Each structure stands twice: as C-alpha cells, then as structure tokens.
Amino acid sequence: MPEITFLEAVNSALKEEMHADERVFLIGEDIGAYGGAFKVTGGMLDEFGPERIIDTPIAEAAVIGAAAGAAMCGMRPVAELQFIDFISCGGFDQLVTVAAKSRFRNGVPCPLVVRGPAGGGGRGGPFHSACPEMWFVSTPGIKVVFPATAYDAKGLLKSAIRDPDPVLFLEHKFLYRRIKDEVPNEDYVVPLGQALERRAGDEMTIITYGAMVHTSLEAAEELSKNGHSVRVIDLRTLVPLDEDTIVKAAIETSKVMIVHEDTRRGGLAGEIAAVINENAFDYLDGPILRVTAPDTPVPYAPSLEDAFLPQVSDIVTKANELLQY
C-alpha cells in the first residue's frame, strides 16, 4: 500500500467519490484554480471542470445554503470552508437551521458534507484556529467527524459523502502534511460511529480525537517508560459517539482521562464523563480527569499558543496523578 499524507488522503477520497458518483460536486472559496486554501483540491478543476468544482464568492452562508439546497434536490455536495472558524459567518444558520432539520421537518434527506481545516498549532490566532465541534455535537441531525490519520481521513470522508444526512467533517490543519499512513488503492470506507483502540493498556484509558490522538500516544509512550500500561482510544466520530467502546474501556481499566484541544467548559469531555458515570461508575477506581485547552480564545503569540494547547507533559502529569490515586 502506498504511504500518503493526510491532505493527499482527503484529496484522494474526493476524487474517488466524484468518479464513482456523478452527483458528487465540490463548492467553496478558491477551491478551483487556486486549489483551496491548503491545496486540498489542487488539480481537481482540470480533472472535473467548473461545473463540478465550483468557486464561490467569500460568502459562507451562500456556500452552505447552495449546497444544502442541492442536497435536498438529490445531489451529493461537499462544501469546503477555507477555515472552519468561518462556519459562524452565516453558514452556521444554513447548517443548523436548514440542513440539520430537513429530515425532521419535511422528510427530505440532506446528504451534505461540510469540510474544512480546524485546530491550532499553526500560529493562526483566534480567527483561524478554532475547534468548534461542540456547536454541532449538540445539534440533532448533524453527524460530526474528526479523524486523526490519513487512513481514517479517506475512509471516513467516503462514508460521510455516502451518508444520507448532513456531516461536518473536521480536518486538523496541523496534520495535513505531518501525518502519513499506508492507505489502500482499492475502495474502502471507515464506518461512522466506531471508535478505535490505538494503543492497548490495562491501567488507565485516555479517550481523545483529532490531533490530540498523536499527543496522547506520545504521552502513553512516555508513561510506559515507567512501567505504566495506558490504553488510548481514538473516537474518530463524535456524532454518533461510540459509547460501547468508551464504557468497555472504563470498565476494563477503571481509570479514565479525556483529552481534547477544544476548550474545557462545555467540551466533549464532560459528555463522555457523564456517559461513563451513568454506565460504569461502579467500576471506577478514581475520578474522571480532563486535559483540555483553557477557556480562552486561541492566542496568536507562539509561546502563548503552546501554553494554550495540551502538551505531552500536561497529559503525563495528569495521568500520573490518576495512576497514583
């Protein structure tokens, strides 16, 4: 199997789905001639033409609104935002009010994918570094995907495009060119709603997703040097949430820590903790701990952004507290 980057995996998934299904088209700002803000759609305009690679004005509400309308009419649009932060610029209303409620309101499916770069680490400051997943995790009708590897990025995106309902597909920009995997040439999908055990362990579990999967794996390796056995669970899909895998890990290891780049208050860690309390409380040998970003906007200064983002040392310190409990 060839080894490709996370970015190349997304590009490959889009191409394969467009070749396989003529209803699939891409729409977004500068995705054609320019190839996208991060070059994810590079070369696709020449391959598929302007009727299927549609450049738009800088108008997020128009991008997602047009895509949602096309989806309701039987097409399979994939809308790209240059930075996922800009989903708040009117696109939020189209996705939350229109697309998410279509099936419930009038029985019409809305097979729409909204994808774009999320996350910090790139010195983008407070307007280009958001992890806004919880805006949509709490919105019924939208599925939310946040892959950590090239293999999953391709397989999950293909599943998202084929799904009959709206999917928000978050791509951590720090992973685009830094992560490489062996990815099959043949068609495959990664089902939505299935978490994956990235590392085995029986003393405690770290539950995480996105770029924090790699940070958590580094931390687990550091902890292993002192003889600790730490399991790492990659959620991959936030909605639907794989509660079975979460509860099973809590029962088997008795200690759980949740790590995410999103801010602390109202973050997914609180929801996961509630799931564990409701289903595995009697098996716990310590409190459920969280390692998250603080409740501030993402700083621009490199030193402050590094302090804002969860680091390997933060996870190791908190894990040692839990292991010693």
**pLDDT confidence bin for 303, thresholds 50/70/90:** very high
- Residue 155 pLDDT more than 90? yes
DSSP 8-state class, residue 88? G
CATH number of 3-182: 3.40.50.970
Q: Could you tell me the residue ranges of all domains in the chain?
A: 3-182, 196-323
Q: Does 196-323 carry CATH code 3.20.20.70?
A: no
Instruction: State the sign of the Cα–Cα–Cα–Cα dihedral 24, 28, 34, 36.
Output: negative
Instruction: Find out whether 172 and 117 touch, Cβ atoms under 8 Å.
Output: yes
- pLDDT for 96-151, tens place per residue? 999 999 999 999 999 999 999 999 999 999 999 999 999 999 999 999 999 999 99
> What is the average pLDDT across 152-160?
98
Task: Judge residue 296's burial from the number of C-beta atoms within 10 Å of its C-beta, 0-12 exposed, 13-18 middle, 19 or more buried.
Answer: exposed
What is the residue-averaged pLDDT of the chain? 97
Known catalytic residues? 128
* Residue 124: C-alpha distances to residues 117, 130, 173, 297, 311 (Å): 11, 9, 10, 11, 18
> What confidence score (pLDDT) does residue 2 get?
85
**pLDDT confidence bin for 91, thresholds 50/70/90:** confident
> What confidence score (pLDDT) does residue 160 get?
98
DSSP string, 267-299: -HHHHHHHHHHHHHGGG-SS--EEEEE-SSPPP
Q: What percent of the chain has pLDDT over 90?
A: 98
- Residue 53 pLDDT more than 90? yes
- Residue 90 pLDDT more than 90? no
Closest by CA to 85, choosing from 117, 55, 61, is 117
- pLDDT for 196-248, tens place per residue? 999 999 999 999 999 999 999 999 999 999 999 999 999 999 999 999 999 99
Instruction: Find out whether 156 and 169 touch, Cβ atoms under 8 Å.
Output: yes
Tell me the C-alpha distance between 277 and 299, whole Å.
34
> What confidence score (pLDDT) does residue 269 get?
98
**pLDDT confidence bin for 256, thresholds 50/70/90:** very high
**pLDDT confidence bin for 174, thresholds 50/70/90:** very high
> What confidence score (pLDDT) does residue 179 get?
93
Instruction: Find out whether 284 and 255 touch, Cβ atoms under 8 Å.
Output: yes
